[in-house]
Amino acid sequence: MQERTLSGLVALLQSNALKQALAPYCLGGPYGRLLDADAELLGDADVVVFETEGLIGSGAASSVLSYLFHRIEGRLDGRPTLLVIDEGWLILDDGNFSGQLREWLKTLRKKNASVIFATQSLSDIANSPIAAAVVESCPMRIFLPNERAIEPQIMAIYRDFGLNDRQIAIIARAASKREYYCQTQRGNRLFELGLGPVALALCAASGKDDHKLIDAVLAEHGRDGFLPAWFEARGVSWAANLLRDDRGSEGMP
């Protein structure tokens, strides 16, 4: 098994053209650390995350993403599965990957899987060659507030997503980071999540300062003590005390 690597394969190939094509993905090449190994380390947890920020735009993007898609699709066994693709514009810029996404949007429903596709700008989708497939395959759409939505050029993009002028005006007047506009086949509605302090402490910590604080708390308290310490750092002491009391009671005879 130790010899079943890309480097091992290249050593056995007789074709120089194939050798040259695979060389960048072998150890010693610029992308060898991504694909050349004798074991797969994708993990088997219920939640698995792949950071693609440094990957998109590199020469390895298409190959690595195609491999990940192949492995993820192979794990779909009928259990409810949610595939979240954040910063989708990075993916739409890659022709090979956007084509695979189009196929996923059409076929994964049969395997009890759904795709959440998130992007900061509707124009990223509108200008994509798979725009029609994305619009057709996403029956539920959630729009963030956008005060510029009523500008003529931007309104045209919202209309392509099935919104009328009244709905676009609602999006333009909605409160930033608080209200969202949901468009479904059953109807449309402006809504708020109404998150409490605990949910906000967990779900609204995405800024650079939050990441620095997360690293600091994790370094000081470790994984086991992270959550109570994090609630303390976010000013939710009562939740931290509940966690500590609960863990203390579990250790009692």
**Cross-sheet strand order for the sheet of 141-143:** 141-143, 179-184, 187-192
CB 102 within 8 A of CB 136: no
pLDDT value at position 93? Answer: 63
Q: Express each pLDDT in 93-127 by its tens digit.
A: 666 667 777 777 777 888 888 888 888 778 877 77
Distance CA 73, CA 6 (A): 22
Distance CA 141, CA 115 (A): 12
Say whether pLDDT at 141 is over 50.
yes
pLDDT value at position 95? Answer: 63
Residue (of 9, 57, 1) closest to 32 by Cα position: 9
Say whether pLDDT at 3 is over 70.
no
Distance CA 214, CA 106 (A): 38
Q: Which fold has domain 43-138?
A: Rossmann fold (3.40.50)
Domain boundaries, the chain: 1-39, 43-138, 139-194, 196-253
Say whether pLDDT at 2 is over 70.
no
Q: Which two structure tokens, joined as six digits, stand for 132?
A: 């029609």
Q: Express each pLDDT in 48-97 by its tens digit.
A: 888 777 776 677 777 887 788 888 888 888 889 988 887 666 666 666 66
The answer, as to whether pTM is greater than 0.95, is no
pLDDT value at position 172? Answer: 95
Q: 180's torsion region: left (phi>0), alpha (psi -120 to 50) or beta?
A: beta
